[in-house]
Amino acid sequence: MAEFAQMLDLPSWSKLQKHHEELGVNIVLKEFFQKDPERFRKLSRTFKNTVDGSEILFDFSKNFITEETIQILVQVAKDAGLEKLRDDMFAGEKINFTEKRAVYHVALRNVSNQPMQVDGKSVVEEVNSVLDHMKDFSDQVRDGQWKGYTGKKIKTIINIGIGGSDLGPVMVTEALKPYGDRDMKLHFVSNIDGTHMAEALKDSDPEDTLFLVASKTFTTAETVTNANSAKHWFMEKAKDEKAIAKHFVALSTNVEEVTKFGIDKENMFGFESWVGGRYSVWSAIGLSVAIYIGFKNFHDFLAGAHAMDMHFKNTPLEQNIPVIGGLLSVWYSDCFGAQTHLVSPFDQYMHRFPAYLQQLSMESNGKAITRSGDYVKYTTGAILFGEPATNAQHSFYQLLHQGTKLIPTDFILAAESHNPIENNVHQKMLASNFFAQAEALMVGKDENQVKAEGAPDDLVPHKKFLGNRPTTSILAQKITPSTLGALIAYYEHFTFTEGAIWNINSFDQWGVELGKSLAKKIQAELDQSGENTTHDSSTSGLINEFKKKAGIA
């Protein structure tokens, strides 16, 4: 627990504010580059991926910073106790104090088998035993040893889960599609909207379909309802309850509920309560990933994240890449009033990456109460959004270039494409856009340039670009399993850093818990006959109109 109450009370915060007044208000990014030819070198950091020796370059130089800014921000991080909180996380301390839980997803990818404990008990053996189980099972499904109740090889995997039990597997299987078994069909059913399940089932045959029911608690209404519907669909054809064992497995912490549902303990892949939902793709929740890309690739995915963990744990803060990322976010949020954070991967396979990060960032840091229980005196969690480029360029980048809002932006590109078609022409065009967008956002276009291009006087103000928009460019070698693992871990520790400075608990989610209970009461009311009057006139009015339209008297 941090000793300070509010970020603004940190001894170094006033120094940062003063620095902002001196530098921030008059900052002109392009002039920084004119003045200092070494700026790119000084303000970039390289992550060495120890799994395959590749590197990821993080270019922070197009941000509103100097080397001094980093020094002061690092001082803020030190004053806020970031290092202690980080070390406590790696030591298995219960830093998620509102739920009295350790935050130990880093133990799930501890591929170097370092000692890791919770409550004085090693977790390494249990983590490895679940990984062994995942390996055996995924190998069997992939090579056809695991057969459906009529002896057929599994062709379709349907993962049923929501939130943290869905977004990770969806995003990772999409991002690593080039490593996937293309003979296998994957569906991810999350929404309680019957359409989601119905569409997945329309495409599937019970004889060769495997359901992975992914739910930490195994009590989430959407998932349990969807899983029951899947079971009914399956039983209609299979008839015999014994067939369930070949077609339903559970990824969960709750043995009792899993057994009640009718899934054998043998077919359950467990994990512990110290794995938060949005950090669970590294656990048994990642089984769909392991089946699709194979266990060796899944292991590389864990190893890439582990390499980023070791960097985060052992690197001095000035050189610590996720720490710098997180500190910049705090800098923009609380000194420049930025409300948003855009992440655009220049990679079609990574099209669900922003959606995944949305949960990671906004569920972790969408909090207004400090760890001491007070309302924060500053803004916290940014609104994270994004879409892959270049598509996004043809839609909302307009607001980046000429809008009134400051939108700190991350662009991500891999130098090597998985599909270098047409002699790599596509890749070069993609890369050109990656460079051009960051450059244009920074340099803008002034009146003289617009006039020189022949614009009539009345159009000059419309064609002018102010520039001076900050971006971070992230350049990887190739989106391999280990690189993706490292990139996700980068954003996890970035989010961790923000939360530590804001002095909030990034690891609970009471807002999500509220959602889980709210609808229950109304659902019961939908089955009651007659006019509803139990709510405010708007809510009751809507309920009554729905009942009329849906034919529920």
Minimum Å gap between C-beta 174 and ligand G6Q is 18
Residue (164 or 326) nearer to ligand G6Q, CB: 164
- Min CB(383)–ligand G6Q separation in Å: 18
CA–CA dist 54, 256 (Å, integer): 44
Site track for ligand G6Q across 164-203, x = CB under 6 A: xx--------------------------------------
Task: Assess 217 for contact with ligand G6Q (CB under 6 A).
Answer: yes
Task: Please give the positions annotated as active site.
Answer: 363, 394, 516
- Close Cβ partners of 51 (under 8 Å, ≥ 6 residues apart): 300, 303, 304, 307, 482
Of the candidate spans 65-73, 189-197, 272-280, 489-497, the one that interacts with ligand G6Q by CB under 6 A turns out to be 272-280
Interface with ligand G6Q, residue 276, by CB under 6 A: yes
Q: Which residues contact 84 (CB under 8 A, 6 or more apart)?
A: none
Indicate whether 223 belongs to the interface with ligand G6Q (CB under 6 A): yes
Query: Binding to ligand G6Q by residue 221, rule CB under 6 A?
Result: no
CB-based contacts of 452, cutoff 8 Å, min separation 6: none
**Could you tell me the smallest distance in angstroms from the CB atom of residue 513 to ligand G6Q?**
8
325 binds ligand G6Q (CB under 6 A): no
Compare residues 193 and 205 and give the one whose CB is closer to ligand G6Q: 193
Which region, judged by CB under 6 A, interacts with ligand G6Q, from 92-100, 209-217, 341-349, 526-534? 209-217
Closer to ligand G6Q at the Cβ: 208 or 492?
A: 492
277 lines the binding site for ligand G6Q (CB under 6 A): yes
* Cα separation, 327 vs 392, whole angstroms: 26
Of 49, 46, 52, which Cα lies nearest the Cα of 308? 49
* Under 8 Å between Cβ of 63 and 42: no
Q: How far apart are CA 63 and CA 454, in angstroms?
A: 32
Site string for ligand G6Q, 342-371 (x = CB under 6 A): ---------------------x--------
Using CB under 6 A, which residues numbered 474 to 513 contact ligand G6Q?
Answer: 509, 512
Smallest distance from ligand G6Q to CB 373, Å: 22
Site map (CB under 6 A) of ligand G6Q, residues 127-166, x = contact: -----------------------------------xxxx-
Q: Supply the minimum distance, in Å, between the C-beta of residue 278 and ligand G6Q.
A: 4
| Helix ranges, 186-220 (H) | 194-202
Strand 383-385: give its sheet, edge to edge.
44-48, 55-59, 471-476, 409-414, 340-345, 383-385
Please count the residues of this chain forming the interface with ligand G6Q, following the rule CB under 6 A. Answer: 15
At 332, list the tokens: 């923009």
Shortest CA distance to 257 belongs to which of 245, 270, 246, 244?
A: 270
469 binds ligand G6Q (CB under 6 A): no
- Indicate whether 278 belongs to the interface with ligand G6Q (CB under 6 A): yes
Per CB under 6 A, does 304 bind ligand G6Q?
A: no
Q: 113: left (phi > 0), else alpha (psi -120 to 50), else beta?
A: left
Cβ nearer to ligand G6Q, comparing 220 with 370? 220
What gap in Å lies between CA 246 and CA 263, rounded to an integer? 10
CB of 157 to ligand G6Q, least distance (A): 18
- Non-local (6+) Cβ contacts of 114 within 8 A are 124
Least distance CB 512 / ligand G6Q (angstroms): 5
Q: To 10 degrees, what angle do helices 353-365 and 167-175 make?
A: 150
Task: Give the nearer residue to ligand G6Q in terms of CB position, either 7 or 384.
Answer: 384
Q: How far is CA 116 from CA 93, 124, 128, 129, 390, in A?
A: 11, 6, 12, 15, 42
Confirm if 508 and 96 have CB atoms less than 8 A apart.
yes
Taking Cα atoms as reference points, which of 360, 313, 279, 270 lies closest to residue 89? 313
Contacts with ligand G6Q by CB under 6 A lie at 162-165, 215-217, 220, 223, 276-278, 363, 509, 512
